[in-house]
Structure 1
Amino acid sequence: MKTKLILLAGLLCCNLLFTQTFSDSTSLLNYTSFYAPCVLDMNGDDLDDVVTFVSSGGIDMRIDYQQPDGTFSGQYFNINLPDAPSWSIAGGDLTGNGYNDLILGDGNSVTFVKANDTGTGYTHQQMVG
């Protein structure tokens, strides 16, 4: 019994050594959005970029590209989505061109946002269900 207690105490102490901290760095972004964001590498530079959506008549996409020094450089894409991603957003290379695409979910549909072959433009296709 004593051995088990010592082992448990040792494991708990080791767990404290490996805790992670969180620093709110939202101020590094140039824009924040009400809609669901997504963090993934959108331009193939192995840095995490932040994708958000902006309501400006239609729903447009903004990507804040992470720079090597940790700052962000934003770019808008006028893609005029019919619905905002109110429920969920996920990303991955759906088309196999080496650039990440997005899947957006809302209450009535799923929208696929696909990168072009150079990763510099995007088109969308909505599937209403």
Structure 2
Amino acid sequence: MARKSVLTSQAAPPAGAYSQAVSAGDFVFVSGQLPLDPNGALVGAGDIKAQTRIVLHNMAAILREAGSSLDDVVKTTVFLTSLDDFPGMNEIYAATFAPPYPARSTVEIGRLPHGMLLEIECIATAQRKTT
């Protein structure tokens, strides 16, 4: 199965040896997105709702570049530095996705760099382009 790296300037650039996303077959695998603007600056310090919005915005931009969308997301994994932030994250998440919601796991983790409160990764179906 051929793999293709996905990269857009509309989301924060990778900070290491990974792709923003990889398309493979009928799926797009989006790497964990952090609350960073396209220049790599932190958005919404200490504000779980603002951080969730920018993370989902970045995810949407990457999926668009891959020919997919948030409507095509089938699975997400949310990493929170504190489960106390779950209600705020979930409010923005629920307003962003439409039913049927993607399958989701939410995990509390030790920490993220620079005061980041969450990271979200996803798997989406790829839309086939006809020629």
Higher helix share: 2
Higher relative contact order (CA 8 A, sep 6+): 2
Fold shared per TM-score above 0.5: no
Rg larger in structure: 1
TM-score normalised to structure 1 length: 0.29
